[in-house]
Amino acid sequence: MGHKIITRKYQPNDARDLANIYYHTIHNINCRDYSKNQINAWAPTSSLELDDWQKKWAKIIPVVALYGDKIVGFAEFESNGHIGCFYVHHNFQGRGVGSALIFAIEIEAKKNNIHRICAEVSLTARLFFERKGFHIIKKQMECSNVMVRGCKLTNFVMEKIYHFDDLLLRTLNFSDIPIMVNAFAKLNWAGKTTSTFEQYFYEQQKQERMVWVAFLRKQFAGYVTLRWESKYLPFKENNIPEIIDLNVMLTFRKSGIGTILLDEAEKTASSRSKTVGIGVGLYSDYGSAQKLYVNRNYIPNSKGATYKYESVIPGNSYPLDDDLVLWFTKKLRYK
């Protein structure tokens, strides 16, 4: 009778086996999709040395997969939901090792209320991760650890969002408004008033705007709106709906809430348009949003910045506030 794949936490004496798996999997499996020079840069013989691995694994404890007493794979899962190394022994491909590692990671994610898992995935592993429910948010042509040796690798930033029982996503109810106002008031967040959210609600009732709210562990976590007819003229003229006013509460950032809200807005926008638009402020408070939109394949619409929906004029001065905006669009692929 064959052995079942089981998983456990890394132990210090596993280091040699894990280093070997890293090296030999890349040289025997990933070589199908990468050149010899790329493979040697990715996994040089020095990667078989244990000192750096042992230091790393003392801080990031890998999940280890075993077939009987033999170590056949490992994965690094960080507290922020990032998967680092994820390798299956080259002689145990297609035997459920990767699935067992993903299952162990998902259990850990649920236990720690991690709603977003992401990874930099190779060409070789892309299909496996897609079958596990991950989707590509960015294709990148280089990896920092190999650029030192002058090589570029194609890989993919992929993510998976988990809707656990403690996450609620729905359209705005009138009864949500005082909860939202109170949450923003505690943060001294300007502009998040009762009248603003009541206006959103009434526009939703008239089907001019959609508003989604997210609650995590019964606490208000964030919201986003989708306006079918944008006030920004290039969007309006081309019937491009606008995602506007995405906000995630500070305590719930980096938990996947923003991604969940954007997914819902983009999916709904795709029912009427092949393109969706979004505007983003230019000062540092918008830094996280700028990075998020670029990673989700939004690109500038090449028309420059606006102030209160009017194009800025070179040489003129404008306040650096929420009304100074750069505009982005994204092609949608939802059916």
* Domains (range + CATH), the chain: 5-161 (3.40.630.30), 167-331 (3.40.630.30)
Predicted confidence at residue 124, as pLDDT, reads: 96
d(C-alpha 333, C-alpha 335), whole Å: 6
User: Residue 1: what pLDDT?
Assistant: 45
CA 44 to CA 80: how far, in whole Å?
28
pLDDT of residue 143: 44
Cα 93 from Cα 67, distance rounded (Å) = 12
Question: Would you state the torsion angle of the CA atoms of residues 147, 149, 155, 160, taken in this order, to the nearest 10 degrees?
Answer: -70
Long-range contacts of 81-85 (CB under 8 A, 24+ apart): 81/109, 81/114, 81/115, 81/116, 81/117, 81/118, 81/254, 81/256, 82/117, 82/118, 82/119, 83/117, 83/118, 83/119, 84/60, 84/119, 85/22
Residues in the chain: 335
Closest CA to 42 of 51, 32, 53, 30: 30
Using alpha carbons only, give the angle 141, 146, 152 rounded to the nearest 5 degrees.
30
The helix/strand/coil state of 327 is: strand
Residue 245 confidence (pLDDT): 93
pLDDT of residue 146: 38
Q: Sheet harboring 70-77: ordered strands across?
A: 5-9, 63-67, 70-77, 82-88, 116-122, 155-161, 135-140
Q: What is the pLDDT of residue 151?
A: 77
**Per residue of the chain (335 residues), what is the pLDDT tens digit?**
467 899 999 999 999 999 999 999 999 999 999 999 999 999 999 999 999 999 999 999 999 999 999 999 999 999 888 999 999 999 999 999 999 999 999 988 887 878 889 999 999 999 999 999 888 877 665 444 335 356 788 888 888 887 666 788 899 999 999 999 999 999 888 889 999 999 999 999 999 999 999 998 889 999 999 999 999 999 999 999 999 999 999 888 777 788 889 988 998 999 899 999 999 999 998 888 888 888 888 999 999 999 999 999 999 999 999 999 999 999 987 54
